[in-house]
């Protein structure tokens, strides 16, 4: 099954997850496209599409949101997976809900809320200052929910496993 992973990644966490998914899905690696950097291939060539983005200031990147609206009809004809990377646990469900249109959320085979990272070494000085003030973190933080990623992979591969349907 030909798989395309479309993502937006500001500091690299969403890209890391996309690379992991690419290697673990089905029998062959998936194609990966960063909407911020690469040209989108023809969706007709893919049976399965996974969309992923990171949450910044409560919102997913505009390029991914725009892509979802523009290609919603095509995506509804594919096996679909949706995920976000985020850091505020108490806001994760709300941010996921706001990230993707309802029709896509309802159609998706797997929904993933994978946690995230604060990578201070990749942030500009303003971002570091905002993060320190908002979270009190003073160094990089790793908070990827590995079990959620594994569950997502199993669900996309058609295996039994739990993925939160309320994501």
pTM as predicted: 0.81
105-129 average pLDDT score: 79
List the domains of the chain with CATH numbers: 3-117+145-156 (3.40.50.360)
Residue 15 clears pLDDT 70, i.e. is over it: yes
23-27, long-range: CB < 8 A, 24+ apart:
24/153, 24/157, 25/50, 25/153, 25/156, 25/157, 26/1, 26/157
Residue-wise pLDDT for 122-138, tens only, equals 667 776 667 666 667 77
What is the reported pLDDT for 55? 85
Task: For residue 69, give Cα distances in angstroms to 15, 73, 76, 85, 138.
Answer: 22, 9, 11, 20, 37
What is the reported pLDDT for 158? 86
- The token duo for 56 is 């910044």
What is the reported pLDDT for 124? 72
What is the reported pLDDT for 117? 67
């Amino acid at each position: 099954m030909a798989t395309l992973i479309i993502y937006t990644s500001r500091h690299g966490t969403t890209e890391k997850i996309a690379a992991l998914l690419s290697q673990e899905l089905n029998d062959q690696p998936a194609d990966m496209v960063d909407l911020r950097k690469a040209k989108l291939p023809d969706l007709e060539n893919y049976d399965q599409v996974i969309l992923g983005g990171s949450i910044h200031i409560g919102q997913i990147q505009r390029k991914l949101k725009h892509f979802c609206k523009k290609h919603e009809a095509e995506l509804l004809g594919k096996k679909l997976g949706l995920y976000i990377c985020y850091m505020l646990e108490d806001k994760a469900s709300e941010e996921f809900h706001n990230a993707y249109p309802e029709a896509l959320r309802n159609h998706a085979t797997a929904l993933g809320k994978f946690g995230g990272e604060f990578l201070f070494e990749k942030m500009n000085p303003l971002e570091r200052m905002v993060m320190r003030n908002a979270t009190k973190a003073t160094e990089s933080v790793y908070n990827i929910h590995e079990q959620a990623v594994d569950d997502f992979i199993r669900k996309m591969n058609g295996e039994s496993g739990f993925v939160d349907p309320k994501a």
